[in-house]
Amino acid sequence: MVSRNDLERLTWYYVRSHIGNDTLLRFPNKSLCRYNIGFPYGPCPLNSTKLPARRVSVAPMMDWTDRHCRVFHRHITRHTWLYTEMVTTGALLHGDVARHLDFSDEEHPVALQLGGSEPGDLAQCAKFGEQWGYDEINLNCGCPSERVQKGAFGACLMAEPELVADCVKAMHDAVSIDVTVKHRIGIDQAESYDFVRDFVGTIADAGCRTFIVHARNAILKGLSPKENREIPPLRYEFAHQLKRDFPQLEIIINGGIKTLDEIDFHLSHVDGVMLGREAYHNPYWMASFDARYYDDGAAVKSRADILEAMLPYIRAQLERHGNGGGLKLNSITRHMLGLMAGMPGARAFRQTLSDSKRLAAGDPVLLLQALARMQPLAA
């Protein structure tokens, strides 16, 4: 029998049980998933398929959801899916693969988002992702930035659904993990539901079963990426209709969702909700997710617990990648500035974590100094 302590230290694999499709069990390796073992729910016939729990996820966000941010988020929520920043195929095929793909085991479940438009290149990079241990490969068909458009990928790919289908099929054939697509509901003046319906139908025929729908159009000319997140109107009903038209597909909605009530509402229409900037700026919001969306009764960590849990990680990273490696303390602590959002003393906490002299000293005890300015601290 595998002990609970042993299991908690290991990478998790998600599998569905015979109790029902909504029941997800998790185990540290594929071979354990093939047997009827008694932890934690008693003997249970299982298949050997590694299945994700995408009920709630944090969106890939450039310059934000790096490996340090994801470890921080994982200390807040055990089950919420985490996504990398977009990594281009060129960066992997012609750059430092380890620098782009290395991550910590504690981040699981974690997905790698790729940017590219050449099927062969994407297939090779998907293989890299699987070899490095990612649980999903996601293709970016939603980024509207001019830089990304110049590379002929991102949201502009929605104008070429057959090419996207070829890319998805190439990746699907190359790896055994899930290949998913994140996309908008339209581009420029293509605003009818028929556009996104036909796009999803074409890609689904290539083998994709999970679609993450940012429920806004992407305006390819004239708006910045920031404006593209704010100006085009949200049309959640398009994502809801996709689930009705394609009930066999997993549809995850994304865009402007900021409250638990909004998450609950969308989960009554689609399979999952992907959160963006609210999860980054107010990360402790996610502390309730495990109990609310995954029926996990484990004790919720306090904000102080999370800060203290990050200390060994920060020390290890600085020891490994500091000095000659160039890693600075701020590279990690910058993701933690919003932890005290809404709490008395939050401003003093942010000021302490942003103190340039203390950051230059490179001592992780800075976290405890920031915490001391919050005392007495409620969870």
Q: What are the residue numbers of the active site?
A: 143
For the chain, the C-alpha Rg in angstroms (whole number) is 21
For 151, counting Cβ atoms within 10 Å of its Cβ (0-12 exposed, 13-18 middle, 19+ buried), the class is middle
CA atoms of 300 and 291, how far apart (whole Å): 9
* Residue pair 295/308 in contact by the 8 Å Cβ criterion: no
CA atoms of 333 and 68, how far apart (whole Å): 9
CA atoms of 39 and 44, how far apart (whole Å): 9
CA atoms of 276 and 70, how far apart (whole Å): 13
* Residue pair 19/252 in contact by the 8 Å Cβ criterion: no
Please state whether 203 falls in left (phi above 0), alpha (psi between -120 and 50) or beta.
Answer: alpha
Give, rounded to a whole angstrom, the gap between the first and last alpha carbons of the chain.
35
Closest CA to 339 of 309, 295, 304, 314: 304
Closest CA to 13 of 110, 103, 126, 83: 110
Closest CA to 330 of 340, 316, 318: 318
Peptide bond into 40 cis (omega under 30): yes
Q: How far apart, in Å, are the Cα atoms of 207 and each of 9, 202, 203?
A: 34, 9, 7
CA atoms of 28 and 69, how far apart (whole Å): 23
Phi first, then psi: give them for residue 225, nearest 5 degrees: -55, -40
